[in-house]
Structure 1
Amino acid sequence: MSWEEDGETLRAGGMHGEGGRRPHRWPAPLPGHRSAIWYGGDYYPEQWPRSVWDEDVDLMVEAGVNIVSLGIFAWARLEPSDGVWDFAWLDDVIGRLGRAGIAVDLASATATAPLWLYEQHPEVLPRERDGTVVNAGTRQSWRPASPVFRRYALRLCRALALHYRDNPYVVAWHVGNEYGWNNAADYSDDAEEAFRVWCRKRYGSIERVNEAWGTDFWSQRLQDFAQILIPRHAGGDDAMTNPGLELDFRRFSSDCLLDFFKAERDELAAVTPDRPLTTNFMVSTDQCPLDYESWSRQVDFVSNDHYFHSGPGHLDELACSDALVCALACRQPWYLMEHSTSAVNWRSYNPPKRSGELVRDALAHVALGADGVDFFQWRQSRTGAEAFHSAMVPHAGAQTDIFRQVRQLGRLLQVLSAEGVTGSRVDRAQVAILFDAGAEWACGCRTLPDRGVDHWNQVLLWFRALLDCGVRADVVPVKGDWSSYAAVVLPGLLTVSDAQSDRLHRFVDGGGHLVVDFASGIMDEEMHVGLGGYPAALRDLTGVSGQEIVALGRQEAGGGPLQLTCGGLGGTWAVQADVRGDEVTVLARYKGTRARSLGLDGLPAITLRGCGSGSVAYLGCGLELDDLARVIGRLLPPGFFHADLQEGGTRDPRLLQVTRRGADGDFLFAFNRGDAVIAEVPLPGEAVVLYRSRALSHDSQDASKAYAMKVNGLVVTRL
């Protein structure tokens, strides 16, 4: 097969990256302007008459906006018919913005094609799993593997690059937009042909494919790559497709979109090599559409879109997601490309942000490494699918609480920029929670003992439980660098490869402390179950061998949790395990009537094994947040949480504390995590930002000062 583009065959090998990482390059300030935290939002002037444009620019200046993203969904305006270009309106907008000191992050505009392209080439439309065509009329109605769509998209990229290559107001390229939002998986013939090429590249021979997928089960054995099928609809709800095939198709789908991004990136870079390029990821703990660890290697700077989860875990979830983004960026500054001023409009229930959360959330992203803070969007739309999505300028106009907070945020970001926060890096924690997109996708397998296991949500659970112990953790990709952390947590890491197992062994042998939960290490990266007792890949490390996985279910379905001798309840599933290794201490066992009925009474539920100067803790069942926080202190060596994990600041679990360190100084960000006022909290250093907080009187000889913090309050001090 071949994907033809201007006579060249696009090699499937391009999907797998070059193995390295592009050097970090950050958008430079406009000529005559100093470096500062970028602040702005998505701007859609094409939705408004020109009479509104001047008002927009004036309000942006008033709010402290210094950048906007332009042209994200403007293809139909830029190319109203095939090969006919109209840049005049965009030239006008960019000129108005630039003259006011507002830079432009210019999109490649390929997120959605104009209707004339779909009319001429309906074959670019993707297909659902059941073969249904995904019609035009929403975002990303195109096949990532379509050679036809690629030809038109790259032509647009080249036209934009040639037209704006000398424009001083365009400081970065915004390539695509939220790749995979509507086409993370395409089940078209183009995708199937591309998947066969991907499999040949990955495995080399059809025998390796048969081995990886276990195709002798249900007579699925393949004789040739041409027989490989993508996992389309295969029957009713109980029709179970091959797990190895499903996981590889998710990997391929991420790689296929990455290959498309790289083609756009390279087309733009060929004309404007001095201009940095990025694309906005979608990292939050309710989604993982792509393997962002691989993607992060292919951008000049990492960008992310994050939308809040309402409720008591709002700030914790934000910090957990940002911790992963920070790791993807290798602790270099990253860009928050989208978040919301208040309510979104695409969930079944869309509550507004509470008082103070607009500013608090933005500054929490800054604390976790964002040197760019943008909202979706600048002006709230009157029409279209996101008319009720909040914006910087709401329907009611500039004389509103939201716009007053937007102005206030702009002033605070200017203060932080002037103090020297820009370019500083987030201080590394001592605990790493490991995340892997493949393991998250594997948890979606419909044939697991319990479908309630979700790797990403287990990451969040551990992140929050550690915060409840006064400790902030980093979230690090499994393929990343975590060997120098003092402790590493595996939360629902269902798939562990031999190479990963070897790394974990070396980590413990070197004195590291490892925590393994009930769903980790059950299978390898090809979805092969480990033999000899669970968790096979980590059995000798934990000193525990499980014979059976007992799904516990929910009480409303006749199931329920188990009592533990340490207090609390075990849920999700319980591994029926025995202690097999040396130096294993049982910290908790199962007990009670339900445990006896399941043959688990008295069996170990939580263990700790000493390994030289290192240790391995094992949790054989799931725990709720409060129970996990209570037991964490016993999973690591005595005194571990008394070590200096966060230099400067306190161990107060009511606070989220993050330190950023840079050439112009070190800064401690402290946030009130809870729903109650904190009457007094001591923090070191001189305050540079107080938001919903106030300084209390203090002894002038004391290096720490005390502050009162309201709900959603924060303090930033210079250390």
Structure 2
Amino acid sequence: MRREFRWPRLLTPNGGGIAYGGDYNPDQWPESVWNEDIELMRRAHVNTVALAIFSWSRIQPREDEWDFDWLDRIIAKLGEAGIAVDLASATASAPMWLYERHPEVLPRDRFGHVVNPGSRQSWSPTSPVFKEYALAMCRRLAERYGDNPTVTAWHIGNEYGWNNRHDYSDSAQAAFRDWCERRYGSVEALNDAWGTAFWSQHVNSFSEVLIPRHMGGDSMVNPAQQLDFERFGNDMLLDFYKAERDAIEAICPDKPFTTNFMVSTDQCVMDYAQWSDEVDFVSNDHYFHEGESHLDELACSDALMGGLAQGKPWYVMEHSTSGVQWKPLNARKRHGELVRDALAHVAFGADAINFFQWRQSRSGAEAFHSAMVPHAGADSALFREVCELGESLQALSDAGIQGSEMERSRAAILFHADSEWATRSETLPTMKLNHWHDVRDWYRAFLDAGLRADVTPLRDDWSGYDIIVLPTVLVLSDADARRIAEFAASGGTVVVGYATGLVDESFRVGLGGYPGAGGGLLRDVLGVRTEEFNIVGDEAQGEASAVGLSNGACSRLWQSVATVADGEADDVAVLATYEGEGAEDWELGGMPALTRHAYGAGVGYYVGCDLRREDIARFVEAEFGDASIRADSRLMHTRRIGVDENGNRVAFDFYLNRGPKKPVNVPEFTGVPLVEHRCAPVAGVAHGRVLQRNGVLITRQRLD
């Protein structure tokens, strides 16, 4: 069951518009600064802030002492200025007095070491003591602010799992046993799922089930046990979120709830498809990846957010105005990137653009994390760009973009949290697999081919797509294998990657050849059968570290030793074979590497090896492109469809310069320009534009 979609209202006359602002931490500043903050917020068109995220110790300085007066005052000031508040439950980090009084709430790492307080989320999600204190805070906040008209949404917790995703405490051990019993019902079923006959791991009761703590040396964890531990950690934090949400909702049921996910292609730590069922609107914290992939990575992460939101608008809860302070390399944003990144989020379905944070801290761990008001103050290029962005978002709000939804692509790349966790196992043919990074590479390859794909959770309905791509979807249940086969049989196109469908949901290998998913059903879709894998790399000195393909592509990690299945010789088209010195050295010469096979009314493609991005792009363009409508791959285009005040369908078209340095032309467009950022007219062409570096053009047109 998925909660009903509810979007937070603004304090605008109609309650609508794009939400714009960021985390606001007035308790870090003297009250003499607050009036200046609000005046600058008005100048920047800020209309919402997230408040009290890390304010527990200010609200409850001692166990028996509560101080809401300061929070009352700042909420009143914000409300008078027309700025809505997304009020946090304030439980992300507990005050020091709680840790001193109850050290048992602290989590432990896999070595048994206590995770000490002083950072964020130094608490065990299975600790009943911590939950008692946290829910008391939630109820106090709900009782005081539930009817406050300035508070229009609840921000539960903050980045769940940032520091306590894996807890090995005694309370976690007890909870894991209970979780396993609920999941399997009997110890016999658990033994079968975990394959405990290997290494004498049979358990006689759930009281013998252990968390996969450190086992000494380089010992390998039972992969089925580890995968269940990942699921357990996800579920414990989700249960904690729901307990906080429910405590507030029992008192204040009429305002929407969210918590901020952490989706970028550097991290996707939770099963956010599962979490998305439990929020009223989906929100995300996204921080850019430095380098040439900056915009593409943002687009890929946003595409998954669109999938998690199931087409509804979603909320950027945090991103950065410029550099951060927590990476090995903290690159700043160039001129125009602040506005470009924010508008790119809107292009991919976001109806809220928020930063961490409003005013840059003077002290603490994030003092050098950029903010909307930098250390240099309002008289700075960065703040002027913050104001420029506010004006652009106001223009889009006035044009009615809020509530419009993304136009669906032809293709969906499937993402699966179980497969992301499973590819981290140290028991696979190679430890260099990464499901989420493969999703990103395929996504970028579609862009390189002048196309665009959506990113959709595996569990969702993809029947409306023409093409689905499964890159390193290592874990496939029998039910999911049947869904894939049915999709192809009914006319869909399925692209299966080299490390897809190798194990089921209990990490059991399918027999009879690879991919074994569905008892061989996936092999039927593809018409090929792999007997083993050829793993190459620079580590094997003196051996060929790359294998070429007959179409000019190159594989540098994994080659499936595949053959056309018996009886399928006439139906399988071999698009490329292994070829060249590396192929001959590894005895792969002439074996199929890329194949196409008719299955029912559809088709199954097998990509039997890892490929470079440019090789994937050539494959995508050759098999799915249309030369008559080929777009410039340097131009990123998305469309959102909405309805105007008269009930007419309208389209908002977004054009972004994907090239890192060179200008790109927008061909003649229809519609009225709404936003032109780093954009110039084309001489003699009324509806043509040139997008400079970081350029964005947004237009609106009526469709009916």
Give the whole-Å Cα distance in 2 for the aligned partners of 1:114 and 1:579.
63
Q: How does 1:406-425 map to 2 (within 5 A)?
A: 406-425=386-405
1:609 CA drift (Å): 0.9
1:634 Cα shift? 3.6
Q: Note the C-alpha offset of 1:221.
A: 0.3
Q: 1:376 to 1:488 in 2, by over 3 A?
A: same
Q: Which residue number in structure 1 is paired with residue 372 of structure 2?
A: 392
Deviation of the 1:310 alpha carbon: 1.1
**What is the match of residue 63 of structure 2?**
82
Distance in 1, matches of 2:419 and 2:445, equals 21
Identify if the C-alpha distance between structure 1 residues 561 and 682 changes in structure 2 by more than 3 Å, giving closer, same or farther.
farther
Shift of 1:612: 4.0
Residue 185 of structure 1 corresponds to 166
Question: What is the CA distance between 1:227 and its match in structure 2?
Answer: 0.5
Whole-Å separation in 1 of the counterparts to 2:628 and 2:71: 56
Distance 1:602 1:69 in 2: 60
- 2:641 equivalent to 1:677: no
Q: Which residue of 431, 442, 458 corresponds with 2:438?
A: 458
Residues of 2 paired with 1:620 and 1:372: CA distance? Answer: 41
| Paired position in structure 2 for 1:694 | 680
Match for residue 718 of structure 1?
A: 700
Residues 303-338 of structure 1: CA deviation (Å, up to 9, x unaligned): 000000011111111010011111111111111000
**Does the alignment pair 1:617 with 2:605?**
yes
Is the alpha carbon distance of 1:171 and 1:440 closer, same or farther for their aligned partners in structure 2, counting shifts above 3 Å?
Answer: same
The residue type equivalent to 2:674 in the other structure is: V
> 1:61 and 1:37 mapped to 2: Cα distance?
15
Q: CA deviation at 1:31?
A: 6.6
Q: CA deviation at 1:287?
A: 1.0
- Helix, strand or coil: the match of 1:623? coil
Q: State the distance in 2 between where 1:73 and 1:270 align.
A: 23
Alpha carbons of structure 1 residues 235 and 660: separation in structure 2 relative to 1, 3 Å: same
Deviation by residue 1:568-602 (Cα, 9 ceiling, x = unmatched) = 21122111010113510111111122212211111
Return the alpha-carbon distance in structure 1 between the equivalents of residues 263 and 604 of structure 2: 29
- Does the Cα contact within 8 Å between 2:665 and 2:688 map onto a contact in 1? no
Farther off after superposition, 289-298 or 691-700: 691-700
Partners of 1:473 and 1:679 lie apart in 2 by 22
Secondary structure, in 3 states, of the residue corresponding to 1:396?
coil
In the alignment, is the contact (CA less than 8 A) between 1:672 and 1:713 conserved in 2? yes
| SS of alignment partner, residue 671 of structure 1 | strand
> Is the partner of 2:193 in helix, strand or coil?
helix
Letter in 1 for 2:253: P
Against the structure 1 CA distance between its residues 545 and 101, is the aligned structure 2 distance closer, same or farther, given a 3 Å change threshold? same
Q: Which stretch of structure 1 is more off in the superposition, 26-35 or 387-396? A: 26-35
The alignment's C-alpha RMSD in Å is 1.3
**Aligned-pair CA distance for 1:162:** 0.3
* Equivalent of residue 278 in structure 2, options 298, 305, 308: 298
User: Is 1:53–2:41 an aligned residue pair?
Assistant: no
**Separation of aligned partners in 1, 2:538 and 2:280:** 46
Secondary structure in 1 aligned to 2:669?
A: strand
Q: Provide the residue aligned with 1:8 in structure 2.
A: none
Cα offset for 1:135?
Answer: 0.3
Structure 1 partner of 2:337: 357
Matched AA of 1:709? L
Contact 2:635 2:666 in 1 (8 A): no
- Distance in 2 between the 1:100 and 1:390 partners? 25
- The sequence identity of aligned pairs, in percent, is 54
Specify which of 510, 515, 525 is matched with residue 535 of structure 1.
Answer: 515
Q: How far apart are residue 698 of structure 1 and its match?
A: 4.9
Is residue 401 of structure 1 aligned with residue 366 of structure 2?
no
Which residue of the other structure, out of 365, 374, 377, is the alignment partner of 2:357?
Answer: 377
Q: Quote the offset at 1:642 in angstroms.
A: 5.6
Deviations 1:39-93 (A, max 9, x none): 0000111111111111101000000000000000000000010031100011111
Please show how residues 205-244 of structure 1 align to structure 2 within 5 Å.
205-236=186-217, 238-244=218-224
Cα shift readout 1:119-175 (whole Å, capped 9, x = no counterpart): 110000000000000001000000000000000000000000001122110000000
Q: TM-score scaled to structure 1, two decimals?
A: 0.94
How far apart, CA to CA, are the structure 2 residues paired with 1:556 and 1:366? Answer: 47
- Note if 1:71 corresponds to 2:55: no
State how 1:140-219 maps to structure 2 within 5 Å.
140-219=121-200
Give, as a single letter, the amino acid of the residue that structure 1 aligns with 2:601: S
Look up the SS of the partner of 2:455 in the other structure: strand
What TM-score, normalized by structure 2, do the two folds share? 0.96
Q: Out of 681-690 and 169-178, give the one that drifted further.
A: 681-690
Structure 2 counterpart of 1:11: none
Q: Deviations over 1:282-306 (max 9, x none)?
A: 0111112110000000001100000
CA distance in 1, matches of 2:99, 2:667: 60
Q: AA paired with 2:551?
A: C
Report whether the alignment pairs 1:566 with 2:551: yes
Unaligned runs of 5+ in 2: 645-649
Secondary structure in 2 matching 1:171 = strand
Number of residue pairs matched by the alignment: 687
- Residue of structure 2 equivalent to 1:17: none
Residues 311-367 of structure 1: CA deviation (Å, up to 9, x unaligned): 111111101001111111111111100000000110011010122110000000011
Mapped pair 1:29 → 2:13: no
The CA distance in 2 between the partners of 1:641 and 1:232, in whole Å, is 53
Report the equivalent of 1:322.
Answer: 302
Unaligned runs of 5+ in 1: 1-19, 645-649
Contact 2:547/2:580 (8 A) holds in 1:
yes
Shift of the 201–55 alpha-carbon distance from structure 1 to 2, 3 Å rule, reads same
Matched, 1:516 2:496: yes
AA of the residue aligned to 1:549: F
One-letter amino acid matched to 1:101: G
The question of whether the paired residues in 2 share the 8 Å contact of 1:282 and 1:304 is answered with yes
State how far apart, in whole Å, the 1-side matches of 2:537 and 2:5 are.
Answer: 47
What amino acid is the match of 1:670?
Y
- Which of 211-220 and 516-525 deviates more? 516-525
Superposed displacement of residue 34, structure 1:
4.2
Residue in 1 that maps onto 2:690: 708
